[in-house]
């Protein structure tokens, strides 16, 4: 089981001082008195900017227990700020209102409002609230699992907070960076940022900041296998969270402790903790916490071999995660359901659920995130190279100026008998300096060439993204459009709706297959000849199994340990798949044999025992089979390879050859 131990990203809900006041444990027995006092002040307050601030303060008192009332008060503050042309009031309204939206899982709406707050703060030079808005926006990006963009946004906020000497907000910012690096499996950076957050919280003697840092450090230690350090951090954080009465923190620690016991294979101790996490998440209407806690319950029941309860809780968690787009929890729930199906002997269902989990895993941590990280690193290297070039040019000018001064001084100071000696010394120094300058110019030229190479690499990556975008549009656009139109038929008569549902299921399965093909093509981990052969064998066998045909593979052993370009893998796979598809659809055969060997290149032969093809069937103008053969020839031409077809009463042979790297 690919169990995922939850990252407590709730910590940035209070980023930059925006957490409602009661979340820090300041909510006491006089809460009703505070509300009544604020309402009395509000009724007596004139319609001015102070009234805006009272509305926001009153909303903060309602936020923990009555979020709908808090939102209504925040919206009143926003409308009044608009009437008064009070930009700071608008920024404060957005900051507090979006904190409630985040708890409700309405991330798209929250991101749009925070982007408006960033633009507003820049326009009116609101330095503090520019940092606040950037921090809140990075919170939304983190919840949407866009970790590179979240990191980039946080790094924009950091210099603003340093200039404001806001140590509390810097502690929260470092905690958020640790969460992002943790999710990208960059453990060293996650640990460094978590320790910085803890040090700032301890310096300020702020128990709330220390609580958050302990939770995140516990997560990082757990991810790296340091379970003793993880348990100590969680226990310290839980004591402080109970002291501060912060329900969100208590929920996160309880959940992570349960995960820790699962990792220690002790489901009996984990289950009551998961149940407590469910109750805490339900009490604060935290949809992500609700989904995560139910996934944890499912995992504990699975480990205890209580498969019925495990499937029930996994389905509940999957439904919640799907409604709110929480991909990590979806992936984990699919993993639990797949394990349950296998344990119950439902192997086909287990395989299907595992493919869905793997597809989500590729989406979360696959080629797109890695490529984004590589592009950021490449841009950084280009900037560093350009800075080095500028420094070298400045050094050259300075040294040239120094050489000119030395020459003038030597020519002016030489008198009498010592003139010749001074002239010889000056000449010697001049040529020696000239040699150094030539060497530095050569180094500069090499650096410029390296910068050009890096630029070409970025341009090539841009072209690769364009090609991927075109493939996604061509391969998946038509299928999605078909599903859209078929969905209208679901409202028709029952017979028509059943037919449309079957066709929608078939189209969706085809789209999943095409997506897996695209992911496999892009994944650099599969750029070997052995991976290509394994992928050909697995997928063609699945096609032939579904068609009910006998088949046989004859593959030369051993497979050479060669790296194969993406274009070769993709085109060879598509040609072989088309040949097998033609045998299934047109040959009326009972058996298909596939031979693969590597002498003088990659040779693949697809042979069926069918009735053969009529002469006119291979003509592109006559049938779809002709179009397929044309596409097959075109793909092999792109690889400088060859394709041949032999058809007769004994069946049809399709042979392809592609050169391989030496």
Give DSSP secondary structure letters for 133-173: HHHHHHHHHHHTT-HHHHHHHHHHHHHHHHHHT-HHHHHHH
Question: Partners of 655 in the beta sheet?
Answer: 605, 644
CA distance linking residue 120 with residue 95, whole number of Å:
12
Pairing, β 642-648 against β 651-658: antiparallel
Whether residue 214 contacts residue 237, with contact meaning beta carbons closer than 8 Å, is answered with: yes
Q: Which of 162, 168, 191, 171 is nearest to 179 (CA)?
A: 191
Q: For residue range 437-491, what is the model confidence (pLDDT) as tens digits?
A: 777 778 877 777 777 777 766 765 666 666 566 566 556 665 666 676 566 666 7
Residues near 638 by beta carbon (within 8 Å), at least 6 away in sequence: 567, 571
Question: What separation in angstroms does the CA of 543 have from each of 578, 585, 635?
Answer: 11, 11, 21
75 CB-contact burial (10 Å; exposed 0-12 / middle 13-18 / buried 19+): middle
Higher pLDDT, 214 or 32: 214
By 3-state DSSP, what share of the chain in percent is helix, strand and coil, each rounded to 5? 80, 5, 15
Half-sphere exposure of 240 (CA within 13 A, CB side): 24
Is this structure's pTM higher than 0.95? no
Average pLDDT over residues 577-591: 91
Tell me: pLDDT of 77 over 70: yes
Note the maximum CA span of the chain: 116
Q: For residue range 414-445, what is the model confidence (pLDDT) as tens digits?
A: 776 677 777 777 777 776 777 777 777 788 77
Asked if residue 558 has a cis previous peptide bond (ω within 30° of 0), the answer is yes
CA distance linking residue 248 with residue 255, whole number of Å:
11
Helix (H) or strand (E) holding 312: helix 307-323
Whether residue 55 contacts residue 42, with contact meaning beta carbons closer than 8 Å, is answered with: yes
Contacts from 358-366 at CB under 8 Å and sequence distance 24+? 359/512, 359/515, 359/516, 359/519, 360/327, 360/330, 360/331, 360/334, 361/2, 361/331, 362/519, 362/523, 363/327, 364/145, 364/327, 364/328, 364/331, 365/185, 366/519, 366/522, 366/523
Q: For residue range 317-361, what is the model confidence (pLDDT) as tens digits?
A: 889 888 887 888 888 898 888 888 888 888 888 888 888 878 887
Whether residue 1 contacts residue 336, with contact meaning beta carbons closer than 8 Å, is answered with: yes
HEC string of 494-549 equals HHHHHHHHHHHHHHHHHHHHHHHHHHHHHCHHHCEHHHHHHHHHHHHHHHHHHHCC
Tell me: pLDDT of 100 over 60: yes
Tell me: pLDDT of 373 over 90: no
Q: For residue range 538-566, what is the model confidence (pLDDT) as tens digits?
A: 889 888 988 889 999 999 989 998 999 88
Residue linked to tokens 């392809």: 656
HEC string of 8-75 equals CHHHHHHHHHCCCHHHHCCCCCCHHHHHHHHHHHHHHCCCCHHHHHHHHHHHHHHHCCCHHHHHHHHH
Chain centroid, CA 110 distance in Å: 19
User: Which strands, in side-by-side order, build the sheet including 591-597?
Assistant: 550-555, 591-597, 602-608, 651-658, 642-648
CA distance linking residue 354 with residue 411, whole number of Å:
84
Q: Which of 138, 144, 147, 100 is nearest to 117 (CA)?
A: 138
Of 33-42, 126-135, 595-604, 649-658, where does mean pLDDT reach its minimum? Answer: 33-42
In angstroms, what is the C-alpha Rg of the chain? 33
- Specify the DSSP class assigned to residue 475: I
CA distance linking residue 616 with residue 630, whole number of Å:
14
CA distance linking residue 339 with residue 106, whole number of Å:
31
Phi, psi dihedral angles at 649 (to 5 degrees): -60, -30
Q: Which two tokens stand for residue 118?
A: 């960033």
Confidence at residue 541, expressed as pLDDT on a 0 to 100 scale: 87
Q: Which of 138, 43, 42, 125 is nearest to 88 (CA)?
A: 125
Q: What percent of the chain has pLDDT over 70?
A: 77
CA distance linking residue 443 with residue 392, whole number of Å:
9
Confidence at residue 593, expressed as pLDDT on a 0 to 100 scale: 95
């Amino acid at each position: 089981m690919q169990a995922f131990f939850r990252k407590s990203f709730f910590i940035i809900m209070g980023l930059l001082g925006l957490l409602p006041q009661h979340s820090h444990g300041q909510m006491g027995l006089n809460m009703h008195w505070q509300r009544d006092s604020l309402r009395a002040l509000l009724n007596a307050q004139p319609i001015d900017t102070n009234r805006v601030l009272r509305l926001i303060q009153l909303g903060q008192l309602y936020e923990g227990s009555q979020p709908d009332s808090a939102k209504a008060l925040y919206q009143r503050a926003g409308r009044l700020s608009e009437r008064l042309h009070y930009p700071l009031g608008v920024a404060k309204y957005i900051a507090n209102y979006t904190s409630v939206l985040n708890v409700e899982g309405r991330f798209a709406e929250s991101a749009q409002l925070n982007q408006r707050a960033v633009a507003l703060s820049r326009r009116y030079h609101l330095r503090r609230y520019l940092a606040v808005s950037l921090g809140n926006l990075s919170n939304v990006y983190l919840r949407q699992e866009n970790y590179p963009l979240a990191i980039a946004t946080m790094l924009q906020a950091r210099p603003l907070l340093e200039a404001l000497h806001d140590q509390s907000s810097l502690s929260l910012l470092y905690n958020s960076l640790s969460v992002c690096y943790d999710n990208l499996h960059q453990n060293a950076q996650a640990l460094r940022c978590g320790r910085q957050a803890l040090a700032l919280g301890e310096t300020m003697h702020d128990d709330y900041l220390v609580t958050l840092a302990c939770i995140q450090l516990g997560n990082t230690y757990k991810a790296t296998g340091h379970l003793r350090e993880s348990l100590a951090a969680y226990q310290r954080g839980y004591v402080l969270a109970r002291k501060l009465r912060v329900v969100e923190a208590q929920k996160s620690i309880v959940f992570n402790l349960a995960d820790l016991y699962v990792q220690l294979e002790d489901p009996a101790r984990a289950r009551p903790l998961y149940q407590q996490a469910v109750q805490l998440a339900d009490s604060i209407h935290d949809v992500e916490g609700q989904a995560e806690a139910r996934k944890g319950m499912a995992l504990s029941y699975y480990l205890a071999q209580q498969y019925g309860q495990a499937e029930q809780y996994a389905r509940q968690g999957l439904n919640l995660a799907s409604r709110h787009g929480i991909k990590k929890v979806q992936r984990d729930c699919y993993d639990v359901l797949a394990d349950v199906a296998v344990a119950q002997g439902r192997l086909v269902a287990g395989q299907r659920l595992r493919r869905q989990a793997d597809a989500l895993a590729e989406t979360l941590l696959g080629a797109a995130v890695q490529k984004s990280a590589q592009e950021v690193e490449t841009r950084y290297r280009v900037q560093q190279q350009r800075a080095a070039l500028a420094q070298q040019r400045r050094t050259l000018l300075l040294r040239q100026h120094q050489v000119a001064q030395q020459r003038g001084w030597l020519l002016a100071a030489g008198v009498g008998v010592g003139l010749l000696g001074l002239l010889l010394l000056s000449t010697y120094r001049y040529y020696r300096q000239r040699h150094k300058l030539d060497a530095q110019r050569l180094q500069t030229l090499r650096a410029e060439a390296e910068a050009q190479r890096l630029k070409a690499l970025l341009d090539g990556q841009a072209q690769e993204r364009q090609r991927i975008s075109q493939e996604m549009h061509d391969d998946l656009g038509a299928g999605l459009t078909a599903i859209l139109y078929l969905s209208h038929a679901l409202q028709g008569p029952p017979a028509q709706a059943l037919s449309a549902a079957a066709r929608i299921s078939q189209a969706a399965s085809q789209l999943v297959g095409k997506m897996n093909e695209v992911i496999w093509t892009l994944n650099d981990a599969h750029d070997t000849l052995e991976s290509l052969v394994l992928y050909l064998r697995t997928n063609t066998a699945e096609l032939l199994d579904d068609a009910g045909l006998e088949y046989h593979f004859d593959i030369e052993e051993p497979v050479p340990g060669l790296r194969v370009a993406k274009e070769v893998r993709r085109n060879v796979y598509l040609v072989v798949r088309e040949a097998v598809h033609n045998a299934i659809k047109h040959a009326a055969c009972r058996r298909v044999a596939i031979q693969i060997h590597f002498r003088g290149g990659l040779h693949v032969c697809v042979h069926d025992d069918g009735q053969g093809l009529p002469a006119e069937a291979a003509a592109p103008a006559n049938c779809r089979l002709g179009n397929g053969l044309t596409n097959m020839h075109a793909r092999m031409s792109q690889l400088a390879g060859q394709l041949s077809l032999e058809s007769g009463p004994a069946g049809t042979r399709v042979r392809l050859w592609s050169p391989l790297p030496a």
